[in-house]
Amino acid sequence: MSEEQMVLVTGATGFIATHVIQQLLQAGHKVRGSVRSLKNEQKIKPLQELHPKAKYPLELVEADLTSANGWADAVSGCTYVIHMASPFPNEQPSDESEVIKPAVDGTLIVLKACREARTVKRVVLTSSVASISGGFDIGGSYTEADWTDVGTVKQAYLKSKTLAEKAAWDFVRDLPNGEKFELSVINPAFVMGPPLCGGWATSMELTKRLLERQMPAVPQINFSIIDVRDVAAAHIAAMTKAEAAGNRHIVAAHNLWMKEIAMMYKEEFLQLGYNVPVREAPYFILKLISLFDKTVRLLLPAWGKETFYDNTRMHTVLGIEPRPARETVMDMAHSMIQKGFIKTTATYRKVKLRFLILLCMKLNVLNTLSIDAEDDGNVVSLCARSAKAGSTLQTAAPCHQVCEEMLIVSAGEVAAREGSSLGLEADEACD
């Protein structure tokens, strides 16, 4: 693939899409992203910061799945389209058509625009294992040959992903010879990992609930997880590899019980002031909670069941070797705290400030800084003041990037090592 060829990524502000765009930009590709509104600064600004020094600046266009308006311009001149935009609710809607209609109709709108453009070589569609197994509530083992029976599932999201993917395969199959383009599909499991997006994503729900102790105990639920960075890489591989055309690709890495995820978080974050629940809740308790909590209600059918997915094509065709589960889980939690999606404890702020001071000293970027003891340790502001103090930065990356990356993987270790001198209390509550 030539770097000069334009790639359109729909739903550019999404959890997975932001990673896809960043990796494409880092590889030197021309990228155009579709968004519902260019006026939403909270979502647009993070896109503009994905790779400021990109060879080709990111283009953004407005286009909504509920209308054909704007899609001809969005697809114009594109060689590849990665269609990711689709509703992902965190609870069952009162009217399932609110989720199904934009997923199916939106997919067809984008595909029709690709047909009319006459420049598109391949479309990569983001589907889900939801269209393969009907979610995690049935159990068993599955391959790309399996399809969800929409007549038996109740969740609107599961139906929407299945029907949208089937509509895409049918559309491409029926194209006349002179209008044909290739289709490749990515079917990710439960996606975790550090968010780059500026808005909330349903994938963040589990981590937030655990770290903020929004549940007193954890249900016996098993997740097949995959890192968002690996999912992004899978999309790009599906776009470029010849053998990916005309095929579905399960992208899944590890099976973890919710208690295992909670235990990882407790080990890392108890010393940082987060009281993570690890005791398993009896089924009847979850049943009672589900009467008032729609999100918990969605989990009930999956109680005690394990669902496994054959990821052979992920390895052999796409060439993806997934990250370790702990790296995925921890990077997600630290990043969500850094970006304000999860409340920051006073303990975490103290550790963060202490860590940044030590790190900046190691990087020789602290000269004469006056740091208030109550400073929250904001990465960017601290390092910006370091630069203003006339420091010499001895690293290729901007200081705040180095600090953020090292903080994500090291904060827990710093807390353990520096805890006594900082006067940290393990049971400090979220503020």
- What 3 state SS string does 68-135 have? CCCHHHHHCCEEEEEECCCCCCCCCCCCCHHHHHHHHHHHHHHHHHHHHHCCCCEEEEECCCHHHHCC
Structure confidence at residue 425 as a pLDDT band (50, 70, 90): very low
Confidence (pLDDT) at 139: 78
> Hey, how many other C-beta atoms are within 10 angstroms of the C-beta on 103?
23
Average pLDDT rounded to a whole number, residues 64-70: 91
Confidence (pLDDT) at 283: 87
In whole angstroms, what separates CA 180 from the centre of its chain? 31
Confidence (pLDDT) at 350: 80
CA torsion, ordered 281, 285, 290, 291, to nearest 10 deg? -170
Confidence (pLDDT) at 422: 35
Between 186 and 405, the higher pLDDT residue: 186
In DSSP terms, 254 is beta-bridged to 225
DSSP state of 397: S
Query: For residue 193, is it left (φ>0), alpha (ψ between -120 and 50) or beta?
Result: left
Contact 363, 399 (CB under 8 A): yes
Burial 350-369 (b: 16+ CB within 10 A, else e): bbbbbbbbebbeebebbeee
Between 76 and 367, the higher pLDDT residue: 76
- Residue 63, pLDDT above cutoff 80: yes
Place of tokens 């600004």: 45
- Residue 127, pLDDT above cutoff 70: yes
What CATH fold (topology level) applies to the domain 6-202+224-255+306-329?
Rossmann fold (3.40.50)
Contact 91, 298 (CB under 8 A): yes
The structural domains of the chain, with segments of one domain joined by +, span 6-202+224-255+306-329, 346-422
What tens digit of pLDDT does each residue of 332-367 get?
999 999 999 999 998 888 877 777 666 666 655 544
Element (H or E) spanning 188, and its range? strand 182-188
Structure confidence at residue 3 as a pLDDT band (50, 70, 90): low
pTM over cut 0.85 = no
In whole angstroms, what separates CA 330 from the centre of its chain? 13
Q: What's the CA gap between 278 and 263, in Å, rounded?
A: 6
Instruction: Extract the tokens encoding 340.
Output: 């304000």
Confidence (pLDDT) at 264: 97
Confidence (pLDDT) at 228: 98
In DSSP terms, 225 is beta-bridged to 190, 254
From the list 311, 332, 99, the residue with the least C-alpha distance to 194 is: 332
Length of the chain: 431
Average pLDDT rounded to a whole number, residues 268-284: 92
From the list 120, 131, 244, the residue with the least C-alpha distance to 189 is: 131
Q: How many CA atoms does the CB half-sphere of 216 hold within 13 Å? A: 5
Between 41 and 87, the higher pLDDT residue: 41
Instruction: Extract the tokens encoding 9.
Output: 């990524």
Confidence (pLDDT) at 297: 76
Confidence (pLDDT) at 79: 97
What tens digit of pLDDT does each residue of 214-261 get?
988 999 999 999 999 999 999 999 999 999 999 999 999 999 999 999
Q: What's the CA gap between 368 and 356, in Å, rounded?
A: 15
Calculate the average pLDDT of the chain. Answer: 83
In DSSP terms, 190 is beta-bridged to 225
Structure confidence at residue 291 as a pLDDT band (50, 70, 90): confident
Q: Is 376 exposed, middle or buried (0-12, 13-18, 19+ CB in 10 A)?
A: middle
Confidence (pLDDT) at 38: 94
Average pLDDT rounded to a whole number, residues 312-323: 98
